[in-house]
Amino acid sequence: MPELPEVETVRRGLSPALEGRTILRIVARRADLRAPFPENFESRMRNRRVEALHRRGKYLLADLDDAMTLIVHLGMSGRMMAFEDASRAPPPGPHDHVDIATEAGGLVRFRDPRRFGLMTLAPTDSLGEHPFFVGMGPEPLSNAFDGPALAALLKGRKTPLKAALLDQGVVAGLGNIYVSEALFRARLSPRRLASSVGGRRADALADAIRQVLAEAIEAGGSTLRDHAKTDGSLGYFQHRFAVYDREGRPCPECDCANGVTRIVQAGRSTFFCARKQR
């Protein structure tokens, strides 16, 4: 569920709860999620101070004061909750897998019903060589990302544009929602061959990606099922979807009879306007 805007929303929400705080205790209520938790997870986290919270693509990164970084991925259904007063947090439910208590008296809770999420530790200074991040594409909101950069990444790709944009090696952080929304804004068909996007089309697509992500972050992300901000309030970008999950509804920009079309690509739904997007 969480794509870049949702993960960034979580990062910002966790910042006051974790940055500069010392971890008093961490409780992992099972041995693994998608991957096993680190060996001796609880003892290795005890008394560590969180120096900074970062995000890379859909990964959340907490730099610790022992030169290690806690890497978190929310998978499809992962969610973080922050309680200022740990004693006022509700008792953990069946899918509340990890609790992090800080010296400041707060509690951060990781809930993930589907357990596609992940928590692990890796040395901070070599994160770039970590398998998760080797070959990961540019951050779409960084200065390194623009039309020419995107065109270079799409060059030679014989796959549909939709599939290429879902590939984290092309652009970091895009997922099923924002790919559909960005393609709509750029008026490009999800079925178009990825390698056919260069020049002005690549400029338009890079702009659309940056725009839609920035607007979604501003809105606190999209709440479909699980995503919520760390204080429990909801993101509201779902109200601004032009095409995602709007099959058959009118295209917001043209009056074609078909409305929004849903197709399946690589096993996942794509939504677009067949008239506007070419």
Known catalytic residues are 2-3, 58, 268
Q: Does 168 bind DNA (CB under 7 A)?
A: yes
Cα 254 from chain centroid (whole Å): 30
DSSP 39-71: TTHHHHHTT-BEEEEEEETTEEEEEETTSEEEE
Are the C-beta atoms of 24 and 1 separated by less than 8 Å? no
Q: Is 262 helix (H, G, I), strand (E, B) or coil?
A: strand
Q: Does 113 bind DNA (CB under 7 A)?
A: yes
Q: Does 159 bind DNA (CB under 7 A)?
A: yes
Rounded Cα distance between 215 and 78, Å, is 22
In the complex, least distance from residue 112 CB atom to DNA, rounded to whole angstroms: 9
Residue number with CB closer to DNA (5 or 106):
5
Are the C-beta atoms of 140 and 173 separated by less than 8 Å? yes
Tell me the window of 11-19, 97-105, 156-164, 203-211 that interacts with DNA (CB under 7 A): 156-164
Q: Does 157 bind DNA (CB under 7 A)?
A: yes
Longest dimension (CA), the chain: 61
Rounded Cα distance between 80 and 62, Å, is 14
Residue number with CB closer to DNA (6 or 99):
6
Q: Does 221 bind DNA (CB under 7 A)?
A: yes
Rounded Cα distance between 7 and 62, Å, is 13
Q: Which residues contact 23 (CB under 8 A, 6 or more apart)?
A: 45, 46, 47, 48, 49, 50, 100, 101, 102, 103
State the first-to-last Cα distance of the chain, in angstroms, to the nearest integer.
27
Q: Does 12 bind DNA (CB under 7 A)?
A: no
Q: Does 91 bind DNA (CB under 7 A)?
A: no
* Contact pattern for DNA over residues 31 through 70, marking x by CB under 7 A: ---x----------------------xx------------
Residue number with CB closer to DNA (152 or 266):
266
Tell me the window of 36-44, 142-150, 207-215, 263-271 that interacts with DNA (CB under 7 A): 263-271
Of the candidate residues 73, 109, 111, 185, the single one contacting DNA (CB under 7 A): 73
Q: Does 220 bind DNA (CB under 7 A)?
A: no
Output the six-digit token pair for 90: 């509700």
User: Could you count the other beta carbons within 10 Å of the beta carbon of residue 131?
Assistant: 7
Q: Does 233 bind DNA (CB under 7 A)?
A: no
Contact set with DNA (CB under 7 A): 1-3, 6, 34, 57-58, 73, 75-77, 94-95, 113-116, 131-132, 157-160, 163, 166, 168, 175-177, 221-227, 235, 265-269
